[in-house]
Amino acid sequence: MRAAASCVRWVNPTVWAACLTERLDYNPFLAEGGLWKPHLWSHKIMSELSVALVGCGVMGRDLAKACVTLDQARLTAVSDVDEALVGKLGAEVSAAAYTDYSKMLDAAKPDAVIVAVPQFLHAKVTCAAAERGMHVFSEKPMAVTLDDCDSMIAACDKAGVNLMIGQVCRYHGVHRKVRDLVASGELGRAICMMVHRLGGPWEGIWARPWRMKLAQTGGGLLEVNCHEIDFMRFVCGDVASVHACGGTYVQTDADYPDNVVVSLRFESGAIGCLHGSQSSAVGAYGGRVDCTEGGLSFPTIWGDGSGITVGRFGGGSEFIAANGLVGEEPVRRELREFVESVLERRRPAITGQDGRAAVEIATAAYRSIETGGRVDLPL
Ligand SMILES: NC(=O)c1ccc[n+]([C@@H]2O[C@H](COP(=O)([O-])OP(=O)(O)OC[C@H]3O[C@@H](n4cnc5c(N)ncnc54)[C@H](O)[C@@H]3O)[C@@H](O)[C@H]2O)c1
C-alpha cells in the first residue's frame, strides 16, 4: 500500500489519468516480471505505433506484409544489407529503405522494431533498438546462445520497452486448441506429450549459407523445432530435464544433427518426446497428448484431413477439424498482439523469458547428444 502511494505520487498525473480512463484493467504495479517498471511511464501515450523492419528476407517480407494490414501500426522504414531486396520491399510497402539499420533507427526513429535477420544477429539488433528506447518484436528463435537471450532481456528491461518473440505457432489453430483443451482441465492432467516434425533437407529459398552453420542457426532444434519446443512448454509447462540423441545422416552440408530425438521431463512430472528431422523423405507433422482422464491425437497439424481427435476413458471421441479452427492469419495475429501490448502498456503474450526457455531446452538437448547423459535445467 505504501509502495502504491509513492508510485502514485511519482507518476505524471496526465499519464496516470490517461491510464485510468484508457485501460481500467491495467495494473501499473504488475509490469513485466511482476515488477513495477517506472520506465514504462516515461513513454508517450500512443494510439498508433510507427514500426521499422530489419531484415527483408523470406520472413521479413511476410512480417512487413502483415504489418501494413494492422490498423494501429504504420511501417515507416525497412532495412537490409541487400540493396535490391530492401529497395523492392520498401517500394511495395511504401516505406523508406535503408541498407544500414543503425542509420535507419536514428533517422526514422520508430516506436518499435521488427527483427527478422538470422538469429545470430537478433541480440545485436535488439540491443541497438532497445538502447534507443524502441520496443522490439524479434523473430524466433530468440537467439543462438543463452548469453544473447540474456543481453536482449536485460537491454529491453533497462530501457523499459517490450520484447516479444515470434513463437507464432501459439497462434496456429491446432496448436492453440490443443493447449486450450489441456489447460481447461477437462481431460485431467497432462501425462505425456509427443510431437514429431519431419521433413527433408534444406532446399530452395531455405538453403541459405547461414542455415547450414550451428553457430548461426543454433541447429535444426532451434531453427525449426523451437516451434515444437515452445508448443510443448506451452501445453505442459517448464522442463526439468532433457535427454537426447541424434546424428547427421542426409544433410551433410550442415554442421549439426539432421535427425534428433529428445526426451523431456516436465516440472509437472509429465514426460514428453520430440522427434525433429531434416532427413525424412516422407514428411509429417503431428503428435498427441495423453492426460489422466482422456487424450488428444493430432496426427496431422496442417493440410488435408488435419485436426484433433479428443477421447475420454470410458467415453466416446470427437474429431475437431483443423479448418474449423482457422482464425486470423497467425503472423498478423502475433504482430497485432505485439502492437497492442505496447499501446496498452502491458506485457506481451510471448515474452523474452518464453523465447529464452526454448533456447535453453534446445541447448540442453545438444549438450545431451554430446555427452550421452541427462541434462538438468536450468543450465
Ligand atoms: N516464424 C517462422 O515460422 C519463421 C519462418 C522463417 C524464418 N524465421 C526466422 O526469421 C529470421 C530470418 O529468416 P529468413 O528465412 O527471412 O532468412 P533470409 O536469409 O531469407 O533473410 C534474412 C535477411 O536478413 C538480411 N540481413 C543480414 N544481416 C543484416 C543486417 N546486418 N542488417 C540488415 N539485414 C541483414 C539478409 O540480407 C537477408 O535478406 C530467422 O531468425 C528465422 O529463424 C521464422
| Orientation of helix 58-67 relative to helix 83-93, angle to 10° | 20
Taking residues 260-273, report their average pLDDT.
Answer: 98
In a domain, 3, yes or no: no
Q: Is the pLDDT of residue 49 over 80?
A: yes
Instruction: Please give the distance, rounded to the nearest whole angstrom, from the Cα atom of residue 121 to the centre of ligand 1.
Output: 9
Instruction: Please give the distance, rounded to the nearest whole angstrom, from the Cα atom of residue 216 to the centre of ligand 1.
Output: 11
- Cα 93 to chain center, whole Å? 24
Q: Is the pLDDT of residue 172 over 60?
A: yes
- Those residues whose C-beta lies under 8 Å from the C-beta of residue 126, and which sit 6 or more positions away, are 113, 115, 136, 138, 152, 155, 156, 163
With a Cβ cut-off of 6 Å, ligand 1 is lined by 54-60, 79-82, 85, 101, 116-119, 121, 139-140, 166, 168, 208, 223
Pocket perturbation via mutation, ligand 1, pick of 53, 78, 80 by most ligand atoms within 8 A of CB: 80
Percent of the chain with pLDDT over 90: 87
Tell me if residue 273 falls in helix, strand or coil: strand
pLDDT band at 277, cuts 50/70/90? Answer: very high
Q: How far apart are CA 13 and CA 258, in angstroms?
A: 57
Q: How far apart are CA 162 and CA 156, in angstroms?
A: 6
Q: How far apart are CA 167 and CA 357, in angstroms?
A: 12
In a domain, 284, yes or no: yes
Q: Say which range, 14-28, 36-50, 315-329, has the weakest mean pLDDT.
A: 14-28
Counting the structural domains of the chain, the total is 1
State the closest ligand 1 atom to the C-alpha of 58, by its place in the atom list counted from 1.
16
Taking residues 211-227, report their average pLDDT.
Answer: 98
In a domain, 73, yes or no: no
Instruction: Please give the distance, rounded to the nearest whole angstrom, from the Cα atom of residue 122 to the centre of ligand 1.
Output: 10
Output phi, psi for 51, to 5 deg: -130, 140
Whole-Å CA distances, 111 to 132, 235, 271, 377:
9, 33, 42, 36
Residue-level pLDDT at 309: 98
DSSP result, 193-207: EEEEEE-----GGG-
In a domain, 31, yes or no: no
Residue pair 377/237 in contact (Cβ under 8 Å)? The answer is no
Secondary structure in 3-state letters for 137-175: EEECCCCCCHHHHHHHHHHHHHHCCCEEEECHHHHCHHH
pLDDT band at 262, cuts 50/70/90? Answer: very high
In a domain, 260, yes or no: yes
95-137: per-residue pLDDT in tens?
A: 999 999 999 999 999 999 999 999 999 999 999 999 999 999 9
Taking residues 226-241, report their average pLDDT.
Answer: 98
Residue-level pLDDT at 27: 38
pLDDT band at 45, cuts 50/70/90? Answer: low
Residue-level pLDDT at 44: 59
Residue-level pLDDT at 186: 96
Q: Is the pLDDT of residue 22 over 80?
A: no
- Those residues whose C-beta lies under 8 Å from the C-beta of residue 116, and which sit 6 or more positions away, are 53, 54, 55, 56, 57, 59, 60, 63, 139
In a domain, 294, yes or no: yes
Taking residues 209-224, report their average pLDDT.
Answer: 97
Q: How far apart are CA 95 and CA 68, in angstroms?
A: 10
291-342: per-residue pLDDT in tens?
A: 999 999 999 999 889 999 999 999 999 999 999 998 999 999 999 999 999 9
Pocket perturbation via mutation, ligand 1, pick of 53, 54, 58, 121 by most ligand atoms within 8 A of CB: 58
**Closest protein CA for atom 42 of ligand 1:** 118
Percent of the chain with pLDDT over 70: 88
Residue pair 273/365 in contact (Cβ under 8 Å)? The answer is no
Q: How far apart are CA 367 and CA 347, in angstroms?
A: 32
Q: Is the pLDDT of residue 2 over 70?
A: no
State the closest ligand 1 atom to the C-alpha of 59, by its place in the atom list counted from 1.
16
In a domain, 233, yes or no: yes
Q: How far apart are CA 99 and CA 85, in angstroms?
A: 10
**Closest protein CA for atom 3 of ligand 1:** 168
Residue 276: which CATH number? 3.30.360.10
Cell of 133: 528506447
**Closest protein CA for atom 7 of ligand 1:** 59
Domain of residue 265, residue span? 170-327+359-376
Q: Is the pLDDT of residue 156 over 70?
A: yes
pLDDT band at 4, cuts 50/70/90? Answer: very low
**Closest protein CA for atom 40 of ligand 1:** 118
Q: Is the pLDDT of residue 8 over 60?
A: no
Pocket perturbation via mutation, ligand 1, pick of 53, 54, 56, 59 by most ligand atoms within 8 A of CB: 59
In a domain, 368, yes or no: yes
Q: Is the pLDDT of residue 15 over 70?
A: no
Residue-level pLDDT at 46: 80
pTM over 0.85: yes
Residue-level pLDDT at 43: 53
**Closest protein CA for atom 5 of ligand 1:** 59
Instruction: Please give the distance, rounded to the nearest whole angstrom, from the Cα atom of residue 139 to the centre of ligand 1.
Output: 8
Q: How far apart are CA 44 and CA 14, in angstroms?
A: 11
Residue-level pLDDT at 318: 97
